Amino acid sequence: MKIRSVQNTRKITKAMEMVAASKMRKARSACATRAYGEKIRNVAAHISHANPEYRHPFSLDRDSVKRVGIIVITTDKGLCGALNTNLLRLVQAQYKEWQAQGEEIEVCAIGNRASASCSGSARSSARTSCSSATARRWTS
């Protein structure tokens, strides 16, 4: 009886070690991702301040807008359901707002979830675009 309980305790301890090791790998990965994000922000800030007198036409404020373009990029796989859902909810709300203002809207959807969302009944004129097989493009 005592040998069996020791073996069971050993199995439980081994499982706990494996879980702890997995959590450590995730934590290390998160730290590496955070450093990457900070570096990207630094590069973008440096580029934006490099030549302050140059203004790209897309970044200028305009009195009247003729057309609006939205590029939606979602994930193809993984455990990112909340990310995709929140992103598509935000895009659909903005789309409806601009549509109510009478704007001409063009959307380029990249990713499985975005492609599925853009091929809904309200956007029946979806056509394949871009170089990706999972990209779709539609106009209002």
CB 109 within 8 A of CB 72: yes
Pick the catalytic residue: 80, 108, 118, 130? 80
Distance CA 23, CA 99 (A): 45
**Residue type at 60 in one-letter notation:** L
* Annotation marks residue 118 as catalytic: no
CA distances from 116 to 27, 33, 82, 85 (A): 33, 28, 16, 12
Distance CA 37, CA 22 (A): 23
**Catalytic site positions:** 80
